[in-house]
Structures are given as structure tokens and as C-alpha cells.
Structure 1
Amino acid sequence: MEEKKQKDTLEQEINDQPDEDETNENNQAEVMEEKSEADQLREEKEEIQNRLLRLQADYDNFRRRTQKEREADRKYKAQSLVEELIPVLDNFERALQVEVDGGSAQNFANGMKMVYDQFHAALDKEGVEEIPAKGELFDPHLHQAVMQVEDENYDSNVIVEQLQKGYRLNDRVIRPAMVKVNQ
């Protein structure tokens, strides 16, 4: 009887042990599961790296854009002041065109000329320059045509006369020159 018990126990153990096919299937399932986890982790890593690269590119673009804005602010910081001072410059020029006679009047005119020169030099230092007009080709970005004339001495589309000076600050037009243009 004891022999029978041992035989039954041995058969039971054999039956309880998985066969090789079943073990291989379990091992393959575990390997597949590990591979899919590894693939998933690789994809997540690539996605995070891509996100990081995009963030770095966005930051670089932001930094460049703000740097350009700061440079433009510095370059044109005087624009509103220059816009206010240009009419003063025009009035100075008109005052200096008046003929004076007499010693004290001439001295006064010379003093005004010195102030005008100093004022003009300060504007030049800030990057303000006159827009050339008479004898130049008409450029609608720099000139404002208020009259058209027919003059045989000038080619077509050439400025015959400047009625009011134009100014630009660095490369930005503050006030276009008012001109007469030949047809």
C-alpha cells in the first residue's frame, strides 16, 4: 500500500510539473512582456527628448526675439523726442534765413547760428540725418510729392525742389521730405 501511495505521489508531482512546451510559452510571454515594456520606455524617452529639444528651440527663439526688441528699443529710443524737436529745427532754419544789419543784430544772428549748429550736432549724434532730396530720384518711402511740374532740365521722376526737409532716425523715416517732382 505504501508503494501505491508513493506511486500516486510521484504521478501527482509529474502531473503538477508543467511540461516543456508550457514552460517555453510562459518564458516567451515573459520575454515579450519585457520587450514591450522596453519599447514603451524607449518611446517615452524619445518623446521626452523631442519635447526637451522643442523647449530649447522655443527658448532660443524667445531669447533672440527679446534681444532684437531691446536693440530696436535702444536704436529708436530718441524717436519721440526727435519728432518733437524737428519743428524746432525748422524754425531755427527759418530764423537764420532772415537778413540782419547792424553790429548787435549780426552778433545775435551769429549766436543763433552757433546754437543751431550745436543743436544739429546733438541730433546727428543720436543718428538723425536729413533725407537728400533735390536732384534725387523720387522714392515714395523717403519723399512726399506735393506737386508735379514739367521741367525740361530734369529727367522724369526726379525731384525738382524740396519744400520741407525730411529726416530719418538711423534707418527709420521720421518725416518724409516734401518735394516737387518732375513728370
Structure 2
Amino acid sequence: MNRYVVRLYRFSLINRVSFPIFYRKVSTINHLTLYNTCRNFTSAKNDLEVEQSTDPDTFSTETTEVDSVEGLKSKIDELEQKLAAAEEKLSEYKNKLLRSLAECENTRTRYIKEVEKAQHYGITNFAKSILDVADSLELATKSIDINTLEKGTELANVVDGINLTIEVLNSKLNNFGIQRIEALGEIFDPQKHEALFEVQDASKPKGTVSQVLQPGYVIKDRILRAAKVGVVVSTG
């Protein structure tokens, strides 16, 4: 039995012996009630002591601080991982954007070149057909010896009209970047000239174009038609 209960019980016995009159007046008090009261008091005191001993506030502050630091470190590690993943994703998107911009720029450049090419060389086939007309007009003038013609005659007027037509035609061709290749007397260039025959001529250096059978033409920086020529191969 708890010492507090023993003391209360002894105190009750002493009072009973020392103060019989008083004790008789309170004889109606149930001893069992007194005993239970003391017992409940002792139990409550023990529960309070246990509760105080197990109160979380009494745990070591050092343990709490350690847990707090560990939690912060774990949170920081988690945030750093998320940051690294976000930076990697950002770098990936940046590279994709740069590649897309480069592709767009390349496409734009190709488009501009294609448009320029179409503007400059879109009439290539038509120009080649016109060259046949120019060749025919030149052959017509070469077939007539203008030195034997008298001015004012009908044939002379026809020849003058053909020459005027050739001048107008060449002017219009020049407006579209089509120009005649001056080959006579030039050193043979396989890019511009087409050698049809060889010529023995001691008066001219080897490889010189000595005759032009059909003139050549360029359109802008491209060969529209190579000149058909005869080339000096030796000096005799």
C-alpha cells in the first residue's frame, strides 16, 4: 500500500483513540470511502508523474535540432535535384530553339536564292530560242556582200533593216542579262568555247580562237551557249 494511504489510515486511528467524542460524530463517514479517496489521490499523483516524465517537451533539444537539420538537408537535396532537372530541360529547349532558328534561316536563304534564280534564269529556255532568231539574222547579212550594194537600192534597204533588227534584239537581250561572248582572238576556254576544228596559223599563239562559226552567249554568270570556234593548234 502506498505510504500516503498508510499515513492517512494511521491518522484516522489516532483520532479515533484520542478524540472518541469527535470520532463518534463522524462515525458515519465510510472508511472505505476514505480509503478509495486516498487511493485515487495516489493514482492521480502517479499518473501526473508519468505524464510529466513522458511529455514531448522534455525531450532533448539536441535531438530536435538534429532532426530539423536533417530535414532541411533532405529538402535542400530535393530542391537541388529539381533545379538540376529544370536546368537540363531548359538547355534542351534552348538547343531545340537554336536549331529551329538555324533551320528557318537556312530555309529563308534558300528561298531567296531560288527566287533570284527564277528571276535571273527563268527565261533560259526562251532565250535559247531567241538566239536561233539572232543567228538567222546574222547569216542573212553575211550572205550578202554589202560592199557591192548601192545605197538606196531595195536590197540595201533590206540589209539595213536586218542590221537594225539585230541591234534592237541584242539591246533587248542585254536588258535581261544576256550578252554575247567575244571569242575571236581570245585564248581557248573550254567553259566558253566549243572547238569544232583546228587551225594551222604561225601568226597567232597556240590555243588562240582564230574563227567563230557561231557566237556564244551568257545569261548573268552562266553560259547560255558556248561559242563554236576554230582553234590554233601549232605555229606551222
C-alpha deviation, 1:117, in angstroms: 1.7
In the TM superposition, what is the alpha-carbon distance from 1:67 to its structure 2 partner?
Answer: 0.8
Q: 1:126 and 2:168 equivalent? A: no
User: For each residue in 1:83-106, what CA deviation from the matched residue of structure 2 results, as whole angstroms up to 9, or x when unmatched?
Assistant: 111111100001112327572222
Q: Distance in 1 between matches of 2:166 and 2:204?
A: 33
Aligned length: 182
Q: Counterparts of 1:7-156 in structure 2 under 5 Å?
A: 7-9=49-51, 10-11=53-54, 13=56, 19-99=64-144, 101=149, 103-156=153-206
**Distance 1:178-1:2 versus aligned 2 partners, 3 A rule:** same
Deviation at residue 12 of structure 1 after TM alignment:
5.8
Identity %: 25
Q: Specify every segment of 5 or more residues in structure 2 that has no aligned partner in the other structure, as ranges.
A: 1-42
State which of 13, 29, 47 in structure 2 corresponds to 1:5.
47
Unaligned runs of 5+ in 1: none
In our comparison, the structure showing a higher alpha carbon Rg is 2
**TM-score normalised over the length of structure 2:** 0.70
When normalised by structure 1's length, the TM-score is 0.88
Q: Distance in 2 between matches of 1:46 and 1:167?
A: 55
User: Per chain length, whose mean CA-contact separation is higher, i.e. which structure has more relative contact order (CA < 8 Å, sep 6+)?
Assistant: 1
- Could you say if the C-alpha distance between residues 4 and 154 of structure 1 is closer, same or farther in structure 2, counting changes exceeding 3 Å? farther
The CA deviation string for residues 120-145 of structure 1, in whole angstroms up to 9 with x for no partner, is 21112111111121111111111111
Distance 1:6 1:98, change over 3 A: same
Alpha-carbon distance, 1:112 to partner:
2.2
1:179 and 1:157 mapped to 2: Cα distance? Answer: 11
Deviation at 1:70? Answer: 0.8
Distance 1:109 1:133 in 2: 25
Match of 1:177? 227
The worse-fitting range, judged by mean Cα deviation, of 107-116 and 17-26 is 17-26
- C-alpha distance 50-77 of structure 1, shift in aligned 2 (>3 A): same
CA distance in 2, matches of 1:169, 1:155: 29
Distance in 2 between residues matched to 1:161 and 1:4, nearest whole Å: 133
Aligned partners of 2:99, 2:155: CA distance in 1, in Å?
71
